[in-house]
Amino acid sequence: MGKAYGYARVSTREQNELRQLVALHEMGITKKDLFLDKQSGKDFNRPMYKKLVARLREGDLIYVKSIDRLGRNYQDIIEQWKLITQNKRADIVVLDMPLLDTRRGKDLMGTFLTDVVLALLSYVAENERTNIVTRQAEGIAAAKAKGVKFGAPVKEIPEKFEEARRLWMERQMTLREAALLCGMPKSTFYEKARKLT
């Protein structure tokens, strides 16, 4: 019997992973055997996931709450599944989908059923990611059409900027003094002054 690990993922630092952690804890996964990434599931270039796969040995087991927590790219999920189950000879259990438990049905029929369910769920996960990106783009376009501005607001150039820039360029004032006169950080003053030369 190998070692059991848990893998959890949320797409952003603001999202809450507690639901996944509770489910993995209920499976007996301790904190030291838990791997958590806080980034998109669009690919598998995630530090904690890579660390987990590197640690896997034959007979080990990975618990994941749902297939979309593993990833959201259809082809990549299939490749990683094969890497773990065939190359590493470890098992995977998807808690929300009991059919995706590679410990069961190691015969031809069990493997076939797992492959079919995995393909279907991987497709659904990628399709949901595509829909999320589309909805996000539509939301941004609609907001822009209503006049919503994105990004940091553009700050007005202070009244004394031109005078300070001229004095700095003529070496009558240091960069620090010119920035101070304008009430700007040195780096901001320098950047804006250089753009106007």
pLDDT tens by residue, 95-107 = 998 878 888 766 6
1-25: average pLDDT: 91
Q: Is the pLDDT of residue 139 over 60?
A: yes
Closest-CA residue to 122 (of 97, 159, 153, 141)? 97
Higher pLDDT: 126 or 51? It is 51
Residue 41's pLDDT is what? 82
pLDDT the model gives residue 62 = 96
Task: Report how far residue 140's alpha carbon sits from residue 128's, in angstroms, rounded to the nearest whole number.
Answer: 18
Instruction: Provide the 10 A C-beta neighbour count for residue 67.
Output: 23
User: Taking Cα atoms as reference points, which of 81, 72, 69, 84 lies closest to residue 38?
Assistant: 69
Of 49-63, 111-125, 130-144, the one with minimum mean pLDDT is 111-125
Percentage of the chain modeled with pLDDT above 70: 89
Please, which pLDDT band fits residue 109 given cuts at 50, 70 and 90? low
Token digits of residue 162: 């031109």
- Between 137 and 30, name the one with better pLDDT: 30
Tracing tokens 């304008």 back to the chain, one arrives at: 182
Length of the chain: 197
**Res. 89: pLDDT tops 80:** yes
Could you tell me the pTM of the whole model?
0.61
Judged against a pLDDT cut of 70, whether residue 110 lies above it is answered with: no
- Name residues whose C-beta falls within 8 Å of residue 7's C-beta, 6 or more positions apart in sequence: 34, 35, 36, 48, 49, 52, 62, 63, 64, 69, 70
* Whether residue 113 has pLDDT greater than 70: no
pLDDT of 125: 65
Q: Which residues are catalytically annotated?
A: 11
112 or 136, which is more confident? 136
Question: CA angle, corner 134, sides to 46 and 82, nearest 5?
Answer: 35
Q: Are strands 4-10 and 61-64 parallel, antiparallel or unpaired?
A: parallel
Structure tokens at 80: 């990683």
Q: Are 4 and 33 spatial neighbours (Cβ–Cβ below 8 Å)?
A: yes
Is residue 192 very low, low, confident or very high in pLDDT (cuts 50, 70, 90)?
Answer: confident
